[in-house]
């Protein structure tokens, strides 16, 4: 789950409209003159502090074992829950500072470091150094990976209501027959500052909170994990959800260009690579109308699900194909016409949008044919009921009937307690980790986050909304055997499925490399695994993808 992505879109768009310095403001550490490379990076090893002091982070882990029943057959596994300390660069590259002469003096500045929490699962009674291994993470930014732990691919999962609010505890945690352990070993990684992890050192937020900083932290974690577990010769995969897909694109390029590490495959769930395409805040980016067109099929799917379409067909997908065509032709042309669009044509398009969205034609016309995601969620079912954002099948009581846009996400409210509560119980009782620790499912990193990104070939970070399409394109060109799998839900309004498909079709790659991309869409939302039939299909698609590509050529 990625609760912060709407705020990220607004801030990202703001950086385009007003310039990076104004948008980020004085409260943002990235506005300081020094870059992370100017900060001392050496971990202080000689400071006479006790090693258990919370001032200094340390690696720790707890091993356990278990069994999960998949397809009626038991699969034994070894588990490792822990924290791995990651630095901006190798702490041994620089000489340590001289020891303090006076014990009462202040300690020398501590370089930035982060303890990243994780849970790893290895099939069998011992780790196989040649088995496929997949690194799994959610996004946010500022989200832990509790959602993919307990909802998708871990050996246990929590059962929640399909499209309504789940009752309070006790929650039902069951064997996950759709765990990916049958196809790959798994490493679930919590982002810096989330999970059981903490940041330490000078300019610590500056060093780890940002598009590029975050991707480098994950790269360093992965390299260190591979070394400690002797997995360098394993087939390697990334599975990222939501902002985790943004991270995956940047991360793949970093691993190839800086670590000489090729991936076998990248698996994207609820993808967003170019934040210009988000329907969360397009009104702050006038002149860029594509988000409205790319979100239209999701509006249609939502209205179809909630029975708001007149003469709705029985099947959804043929209708979506019809709407996709309208969105990229007549609708986009009307938006592009701007003030030259005639009143008659505007009314015709508004009538068509009413037919495809269930919104009143008069409302659509007053909105100048441009209804953003929050407005749609608030308006579709009337003043008293708000639809979900992450999964528009969900609906809940409106917080403020007089508001213009949705004030909350009914799906997040419906399932968050179940996921967080179940994991907190599971990690402590089954994995024997987390004693005297607090697990942070989400962390508000927005006030620190560096939204600017330096794509491959650029001499500096580029002002404007985040766009990591160049990163994925370069990664695919440098490693032409790299395969990409997109998964998305028709009812996802946080990262609409049609926008994700559009991004991959627009990648600046040779036509021959387009065959390295496959796409799968499901009758659910952002967290497609929250709908059990789609979890089953997602498992089948991802497992088959890994099986086809684990020998390096995808054939």
Task: Output the CA–CA distances (angstroms, integers) from residue 239 to 136, 309, 484, 486, 528, in the order listed.
Answer: 5, 36, 10, 10, 14
Runs of H (alpha helix) within 338-454: 343-357, 361-366, 373-379, 410-429
Q: What is the tens place of the pLDDT at every residue in 493-516?
A: 999 999 999 999 999 999 999 999
Residue 19 pLDDT > 50: no
Amino acid 117: pLDDT:
97
**Do 267 and 141 share a structural domain?**
yes
Task: Note whether 70 and 216 are same-domain residues.
Answer: yes
Mean pLDDT over 244-248 rounds to 98
Q: How confident is the model at residue 23 (pLDDT cuts 50, 70, 90)?
A: very low
Q: Do 364 and 322 share a structural domain?
A: yes
Residue 8: pLDDT above 90?
A: no
Question: 406 and 520: one domain?
Answer: no
- Tell me, yes or no, whether 363 and 459 share the same domain: no
Question: Residues, the chain, total?
Answer: 555
Say if residues 270 and 492 touch (Cβ distance below 8 Å): yes
Please say if the pLDDT value at position 455 is more than 90: yes
Residue 50 lies in a domain: no
Q: Is residue 494 part of a domain?
A: yes
> 410, 431, 448 — which closes off a domain?
410
In a domain, 452, yes or no: yes
The verdict on residue 23 lying in a domain is no
Residue 307 lies in a domain: yes
**59: Cβ contacts below 8 Å, ≥ 6 apart:** 82, 83, 84, 85, 115
d(CA 358, CA 350): 11
pLDDT at 338 over 90: yes
The residue from 410, 430, 459 where one domain ends is 410
Per DSSP, the three-state class of 212 is helix
Answer yes or no: are the C-beta atoms of 508 and 473 closer than 8 Å.
yes
Secondary structure of residue 316 in the 3-state scheme: helix
The packing angle between helices 316-326 and 290-305, to 10°, is 160
Which helix H or strand E contains 505, and what residues bound it?
helix 497-505
- Residue 106 covered by a domain: no
Residue 74 sits in a domain whose CATH number is 3.40.50.1820
Are residue 264 and residue 161 in the same domain, yes or no?
yes
Domain that holds residue 320: 286-410
Average pLDDT in the 165-173 region? 93
Last residue of a domain, one of 410, 442, 458: 410
Q: What is the pLDDT of residues 66-104, one digit of tens each?
A: 999 988 899 999 999 999 999 998 878 877 766 666 566
Same domain for 253 and 305: no
Residues 129 and 170 in one domain: yes
| 368 in any annotated domain | yes
User: Residue 245 above 70 pLDDT?
Assistant: yes
Note the pLDDT of residue 396.
Answer: 95
Tell me which of 12-21, 414-423, 464-473 is least confident.
12-21
Close Cβ partners of 339 (under 8 Å, ≥ 6 residues apart): none
How confident is the model over 271-299, as a mean pLDDT?
96
**Are 427 and 386 within one domain?**
no
Distance CA 391, CA 267 (A): 20
Domain count, the chain: 2
Q: What is the mean pLDDT of residues 152-159?
A: 96
Whether residues 462 and 334 share a domain: the answer is: no
Whole-number Å distance between alpha carbons of 353 and 296: 9
Q: For residues 472 and 452, state if they share a domain.
A: yes
- Least confident range from 20-24, 160-164, 423-427: namely 20-24
Do 187 and 312 fall into the same domain? no
Would 124 be classed as within a structural domain?
yes
């Amino acid at each position: 789950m990625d609760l912060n992505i709407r705020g990220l879109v607004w801030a990202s768009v703001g950086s385009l409209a007003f310039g990076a310095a104004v948008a980020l403001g004085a409260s943002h550490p990235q506005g300081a003159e020094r870059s992370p490379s100017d900060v001392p990076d050496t971990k202080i090893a000689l400071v006479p502090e006790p090693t258990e002091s919370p001032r200094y982070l340390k690696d720790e882990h707890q091993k356990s074992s278990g069994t999960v029943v998949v397809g009626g057959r038991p699969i034994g596994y070894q588990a490792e829950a822990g924290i791995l300390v990651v630095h901006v660069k190798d702490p041994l590259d620089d000489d340590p500072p001289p020891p303090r002469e006076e014990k009462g003096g202040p300690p020398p500045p501590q370089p930035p470091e982060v303890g990243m929490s994780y849970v790893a699962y290895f099939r069998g009674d011992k780790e196989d150094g040649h088995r496929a291994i997949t690194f799994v993470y959610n996004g946010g930014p500022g989200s832990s990976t509790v959602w993919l732990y307990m909802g998708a691919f871990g050996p246990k999962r929590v059962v929640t209501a399909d499209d309504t609010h789940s009752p309070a505890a006790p929650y039902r945690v069951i064997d996950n027959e759709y765990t990916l352990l049958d196809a790959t070993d798994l490493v679930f990684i919590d982002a810096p500052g989330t999970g059981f992890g903490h940041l330490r050192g000078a300019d610590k937020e500056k060093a780890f909170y940002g598009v590029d900083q975050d991707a480098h932290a994950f790269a360093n974690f992965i390299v260190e994990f591979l070394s400690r577990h002797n997995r360098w010769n394993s087939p390697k995969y990334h599975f990222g959800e939501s902002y985790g897909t943004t991270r995956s694109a940047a991360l793949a390029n970093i691993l190839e260009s800086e670590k000489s590490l090729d991936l076998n495959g990248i698996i994207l769930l609820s993808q967003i690579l170019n934040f210009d395409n988000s329907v969360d805040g397009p009104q702050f980016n006038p002149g860029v109308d594509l988000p409205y067109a790319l979100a239209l099929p999701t509006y249609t799917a939502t209205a179809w699900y909630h029975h708001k379409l007149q003469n709705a067909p029985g099947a959804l997908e043929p209708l979506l194909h019809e709407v996709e065509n309208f969105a990229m032709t007549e609708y986009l042309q009307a938006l592009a016409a701007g003030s030259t669009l005639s009143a008659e044509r505007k009314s015709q398009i508004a009538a068509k949008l009413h037919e495809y969205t269930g919104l009143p034609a008069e409302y659509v016309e007053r909105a100048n044919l441009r209804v953003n995601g929050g407005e749609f969620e608030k308006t579709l079912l009337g003043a008293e009921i708000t639809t979900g954002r992450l999964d528009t099948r969900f609906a809940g009581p409106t917080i403020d009937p007089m508001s213009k846009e949705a004030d909350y996400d009914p799906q997040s409210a419906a399932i968050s307690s179940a996921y967080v509560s179940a994991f907190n119980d599971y990690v402590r009782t089954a994995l024997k980790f987390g004693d005297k620790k607090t697990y942070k499912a989400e962390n508000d990193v927005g006030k620190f986050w560096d939204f600017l990104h330096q794509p491959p070939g650029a001499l500096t970070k580029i002002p404007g909304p985040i766009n990591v399409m160049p990163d994925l394109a370069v990664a695919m060109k440098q490693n032409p055997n790299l395969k990409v799998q997109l998964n998305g839900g028709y009812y996802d309004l946080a990262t609409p499925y049609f926008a994700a498909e559009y991004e991959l079709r627009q990648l600046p790659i040779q036509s021959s490399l387009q065959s390295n991309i496959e796409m799968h869409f499901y009758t659910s939302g952002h967290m497609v695994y929250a709908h059990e039939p789609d979890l089953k299909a997602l498992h089948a698609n991802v497992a088959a993808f890994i099986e086809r590509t684990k020998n390096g050529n995808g054939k």
